[in-house]
Amino acid sequence: MKAVAILYGGRSGEHEVSLISAASIVKNLSREKYSITLIGIAKDGKWYLQDMPAFASDEISMAGMPAIQKSKRVMVLPGAGLWYESSASRYKKLPCDIVFPVLHGTFGEDGTVQGLLECADLPYVGAGVLGSSIGMDKAVTKALWAEKNLPITDYLVVRAEEMKRPDIQTFLTRKIEARFGWPCFVKPACAGSSVGASKVSASESLLEALHSAFLYDNKVLIEQFIPAREIECAVLGNENPVVFAPGEIIPTHEFYDYEAKYKDPEGARLEVPAKLLPSQEETIKKLALEAYTALTLHGMARVDFFMDKRTGNIMLNEVNTIPGFTAISMYPRMCRAGGLSYPELLDRLLDLGEEEYAKRQKIAYSFSNES
């Protein structure tokens, strides 16, 4: 039996989605192979041990999810794993062979939790510290892809300090018009779930869009707006990752906004596999693997693309290193369509996490010239 600690919730706009992803994972993990511990992270960032019945229900929905129980604190002890409060101010070590962070967005998908787990000397599922933080930052992601000549949408980066310029609107308008013109798309560099993202049709509405994006990050991207088919691809593995046939998100809204993602049941249709020509599918799969490697990823990632409806051009958009994991989420669905069942996918992810940990163990962390 392997002791798996599932980390979920978290200090993120995607806290609720994480609860549903975690519930699906718990439901699909083999009870013969794994003993499961649930660790819920409250919205204030504190960690607590959770009872298993929290996830007993078959009907898992955002509205019906139990809140994080805040009785037994969990702490991370550098060099010594996870501990929980067994009685007032007394801590016991939690049995844990590997951690599965099921945290979307900030303080979970961005390298922070991964760093904490490395300090605690624990194996974990998914991308490492560097890959996670690169993947969270859309500007750094694009810079690395551009360096490898991978196709991306044209973009500009705006930093919060620049907004103090009295001529910021004309300054940016000039840049936008010189590069790609209107409409353009404004979004925070490090956020998710489409929060703070908007389409801008003309210079007059640029500042408002920037202000909403700057609520979520100190760095904002202005991109060329692409009327596109949204194609996603699942990549799984460490040194030799595999890629699955792409799927498609068909939003009914003007773009795949927060409402379409989580609020409106008719907000989008998912098509797995996506209807593509064999040559288009091949291109997307090849790019997905190159994109994954360029960002130093391991474990898993969902690589998202735009396919321009006018020209058919294929461009990389972003990666998610801890993609949605509900039963109907794209990542597990694309794997299932490729012959890897949800429980098999979980087995594989845990194995990959242990493999990465074993590799890190072989690195020398001290230097001695005495021998």
Ligand X SMILES: Nc1ncnc2c1ncn2[C@@H]1O[C@H](COP(=O)(O)OP(=O)(O)O)[C@@H](O)[C@H]1O
193 is catalytic: yes
Identify which of residues 139 and 226 has a Cβ nearer to ligand X in the complex: 226
Query: Of these, 182, 255, 262, 357, which contacts ligand X (CB under 6 A)?
Result: 255
The residue among 218, 228, 226, 175 whose CA lies nearest residue 196 is 218
Query: Can residue 214 be called a binding residue for ligand X (CB under 6 A)?
Result: no
Query: Of these, 15, 187, 302, 348, which contacts ligand X (CB under 6 A)?
Result: 187
One of 14, 217, 232, 257 is an active-site residue; which one? 14
Residues contacting ligand X: total by CB under 6 A: 18
In degrees and rounded to multiples of 5, residue 50 shows phi and psi of -115, 150
Query: Can residue 100 be called a binding residue for ligand X (CB under 6 A)?
Result: no
One of 324, 333, 348, 353 is an active-site residue; which one? 324
Query: Of these, 21, 106, 193, 326, which contacts ligand X (CB under 6 A)?
Result: 193
Identify which of residues 193 and 321 has a Cβ nearer to ligand X in the complex: 193
Query: Can residue 262 be called a binding residue for ligand X (CB under 6 A)?
Result: no
Type of residue at 229: R
Mask of contacts with ligand X, 233-252, x by CB under 6 A? --------------------
Least Å distance, CB 284 to ligand X, is: 16
The residue among 92, 91, 108 whose CA lies nearest residue 100 is 108
Helix (H, G, I), strand (E, B) or coil at 135: helix
Query: Can residue 197 be called a binding residue for ligand X (CB under 6 A)?
Result: yes
Which positions from 288 through 307 interact with ligand X, judged by CB under 6 A? Answer: 304
Query: Of these, 180, 214, 256, 292, which contacts ligand X (CB under 6 A)?
Result: 256
Helix (H, G, I), strand (E, B) or coil at 99: strand
Query: Can residue 194 be called a binding residue for ligand X (CB under 6 A)?
Result: yes
Which positions from 310 through 329 interact with ligand X, judged by CB under 6 A? Answer: 317-318
302 is catalytic: yes
The residue among 304, 295, 286 whose CA lies nearest residue 243 is 286
Q: Are 246 and 187 in contact (CB under 8 A)?
A: no
Query: Can residue 7 be called a binding residue for ligand X (CB under 6 A)?
Result: no
The residue among 3, 1, 83 whose CA lies nearest residue 49 is 83
Query: Of these, 48, 225, 244, 305, which contacts ligand X (CB under 6 A)?
Result: 225
- Show contacts of 183-186: CB within 8 Å, 24+ apart: 183/225, 184/222, 184/223, 184/224, 184/225, 185/222, 185/223, 185/224, 185/225, 185/226, 185/255, 186/210, 186/212, 186/213, 186/220, 186/221, 186/222, 186/223
In sequence order, what are the residues at sequence separation of 6 or more whose Cβ sits closer than 8 angstroms to the Cβ of residue 284? 231, 233, 246, 276, 305, 314
Mask of contacts with ligand X, 145-164, x by CB under 6 A? --------x-----------
Examine residue 343 and say whether the peptide bond preceding it is cis (omega within 30 degrees of 0): no
CA distance 136 to 356: 20
One of 262, 271, 308, 344 is an active-site residue; which one? 262
CA distance 191 to 245: 26
Identify which of residues 86 and 252 has a Cβ nearer to ligand X in the complex: 252
14 is catalytic: yes
* Catalytic positions: 14, 193, 262, 302, 304, 318, 320, 324
Binding stretches for ligand X (CB under 6 A): 153, 185, 187, 191-194, 197, 223-226, 230, 255-256, 304, 317-318
